[in-house]
């Protein structure tokens, strides 16, 4: 798939995998728009890309944990992008302690699932109008241990860092499958992926024995963000996966996700609860 004349929106484009994805796609000729919470970091990434890119990159500030911020950012993106060919939801966090947003959402759930859910839905019509298009949602192998606790999606009763993170990553896969079904005849494909075990700043919130083990694992086994970004770029641009939709990729290959992700009733329940939560 030629990236010339393609417009790509990338959430979380100021750090780690997201930044590398933006750089790689820009080198392929795409016009990239990144989002991030920090104006300074977003401006720096855009300036760095624009020193050599044929198409000028741009940014919009976005805090995925805030529906208000997501709606404002989506409007700015639509104003800047007359076409959106590819949307890559790359941003994510791991929060060591339970935190609530001003809207009383649990932070990990809001940032990793509700924010991307709302952003994607708000941009969806523009992506359909620009079809053929692709939506890529970066999940994690953690989805395999995830469980959607429909009785306590905000994790008020029991907060365990990795359990809450795994729930949000499972939700990513379920969201991708649900959206793929809804867009079946639109010319837009929707897929999720595990990019591999990657040395990024997402682990900075961990502490105690978990942080020690993860730090050792990162040093011994993790790939660089640049290498991991190639898995995302492949799913966003390769002609080999042009007709694939509703799939979960482990790096470059289609993989069977957890049983929870294949539960159609649970996927629909999650969709409706998420829709109500963000006011769609």
Structure tokens at 171: 């939700």
CB 110 within 8 Å of CB 134 = no
Distance from C-alpha of 1 to C-alpha of 114, rounded to nearest angstrom: 30
Active site amino acids: 165
Instruction: Kindly state the helix (H) or strand (E) to which residue 89 belongs, with its residue range.
Output: strand 86-89
Q: Retrieve residue 193's tokens.
A: 């992926």
Alpha-carbon torsion angle 239, 29, 123, 132, nearest 10: -30
Supply angle C-alpha 200, 205, 210, rounded to 5: 90
Buried b (16+ CB within 10 A) or exposed e, 136-158: bbbbbbbbbbbebeeeebbbeee
């Amino acid at each position: 798939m030629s990236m010339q004349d393609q417009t790509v929106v990338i959430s979380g484009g100021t750090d780690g995998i997201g930044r590398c994805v933006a750089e790689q796609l820009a080198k392929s000729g795409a016009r990239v728009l990144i989002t991030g919470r920090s104006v300074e970091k977003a401006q720096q990434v855009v300036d760095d890309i624009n020193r050599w890119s044929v198409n000028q990159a741009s940014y919009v500030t976005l805090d995925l944990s805030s529906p208000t911020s997501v709606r404002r950012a989506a409007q700015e993106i639509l104003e800047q992008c007359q076409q959106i060919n590819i949307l890559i939801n790359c941003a994510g966090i791991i929060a060591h302690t339970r935190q609530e947003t001003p809207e009383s959402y649990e932070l990990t759930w809001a940032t990793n699932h509700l924010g991307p859910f709302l952003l994607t839905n708000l941009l969806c019509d523009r992506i359909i109008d620009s079809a053929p298009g692709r939506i890529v949602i970066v999940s994690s192998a953690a989805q395999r241990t995830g469980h959607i606790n429909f009785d306590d999606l905000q994790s008020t009763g029991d907060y365990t860092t990795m359990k809450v993170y795994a729930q949000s990553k499972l939700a990513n896969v379920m969201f991708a499958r649900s959206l793929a079904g809804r867009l079946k005849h639109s010319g837009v494909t929707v897929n999720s992926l595990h990019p591999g075990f990657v040395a990024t700043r997402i682990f900075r919130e961990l502490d105690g024995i978990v942080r020690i083990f993860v730090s050792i694992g990162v040093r011994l086994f993790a790939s660089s963000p640049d290498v991991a970004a190639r898995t995302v770029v492949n799913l966003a641009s390769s002609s080999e996966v042009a007709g694939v939709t509703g799939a979960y990729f482990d790096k470059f290959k289609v993989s069977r996700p957890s049983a929870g992700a294949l539960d159609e009733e649970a996927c629909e329940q999650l969709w409706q609860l998420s829709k109500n939560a963000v006011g769609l």
